[in-house]
Amino acid sequence: MKKILFILGICFFIITSVKALDLTQYSKASIMIEPTTNTIIIENNKDEQLAPASMTKMMTLLIIMEHVDDGKIKLSDMVTISKNAASMGGSQVFLQENMQISVEQLIKGIAIASGNDAAVAMAEHIAGSTDEFVKMMNDKVKELGLKNTHFENVHGLDSENHYSSAYDMSQIARELLTHQDILKYTSLYEDYLEKPDGTKTWLVNTNKLVRFYPGVDGLKTGYTKEALYCLTATAKKNNIRFITVTMGVDTSEHRSVDTTSMLNYGFTNYKLNTILKKEDVLGEIEIKKGRQSKGTYSVLEDVTDLIKQNENKTYTYNKELNSIKAPIKKGDVVGSLEIIDNNGKVVKTVDLVINENIKKHSIGSMFWDIYKKVVHGDI
């Protein structure tokens, strides 16, 4: 542990203007992104197809969290452990055949201790078999538009046609982070997996940076003989988050060096500038045939721009509103907004959404509106 702390301490003295290879000297491939803008800050062989080892389990966890958030499974659901799951080697949380254990406990087993047995158990629970679950994983790869990833299993043990890239791993991590509850598990350095017989298995996070680097709260390590040491990490400080990926590193210490070098560079040199907030009312739009003639619109989510620490930017906007007829629901898209910085660069184009539910005018409602105006002396 002292060795790790010494290495991490050295990493804090990086210079602010460096090349990617200076920051990730030990990684065969690496990347760092800021997830809200999806800006690539550092890259080295980002598209090279390499064995991802247990970083594969980020996709396994993504499918699981989608099912939880969609209500298809519950954290309290009990999972019966199959002979296949119980027999998994490599990293494991020592599940036994016919044991029943909750979905939440299995998520912890995957996220903290990288349990291959827990990953297989959840795959079988959701899809009926690991083969069907792997199909779901590869369908998600296509949905995310990833070009250099193909999965053969749910755990990441070496297989001939099982590969990914640093860039693709960063995008899977970015998607996984949209399910914010995952950080409740990946941020834990240690915990216990509680079994139905009252016994507990001590879980220690394979990502040691969760303990030794302030702000790190995920995501997933990996190691096999083919993949060597890998890590997809994420950290948040001062309202900005980064995702880093290192692949093909010779030692776990060097994996930590490259990861912390990238994170230090990001936190030292960049900040996130909020251009618009989702609660900001940006204007009014005419509503044809509506119970009210106008509605207000905003952006659906906060709009941010990644800029250098000493940089100040101003922005101009090109707005385009659609022709809108009632009925319309709150959150429906009513136009678009192009955001341009003071260098003339288009930072982002975002949807504009209506802030109100507006019903269509009916004959009855028209007479009712006229009646109210007469009563109040408006006519």
User: Cα–Cα distances in Å, from 2 out to 5, 9, 204, 253?
Assistant: 5, 10, 18, 11
- Token pair, residue 133, equals 């679950």
Cβ–Cβ < 8 Å for 125, 84: no
Of these residues, 114, 170, 256, 298, which one is catalytic? 114
Strands 324-325 vs 283-288: parallel, antiparallel or unpaired:
parallel
Among residues 46, 57, 208, 220, the one annotated as catalytic is 57
Q: Residue 91 catalytic?
A: no
Compute the distance between CA of residue 313 and CA of residue 154 in angstroms, rounded to an integer: 44
Evaluate whether 139 touches 145 at the Cβ level (below 8 Å).
Answer: no
Give one word for 247, left, alpha or beta, with left for phi > 0 and alpha for psi -120 to 50. beta
Q: Which residues pair with 320 in a beta bridge?
A: 336
> Hey, how many other C-beta atoms are within 10 angstroms of the C-beta on 317?
11
Active-site entry in 27, 30, 54, 298:
54
Residue 336 among the catalytic residues: no
- Is the CA virtual torsion 245, 250, 256, 257 positive or negative? negative
Angle at the Cα of 119 from the Cα atoms of 114 and 120, rounded to 5 degrees: 140
Q: Is 114 part of the annotated catalytic residue set? A: yes
Catalytic residues: 54, 57, 114
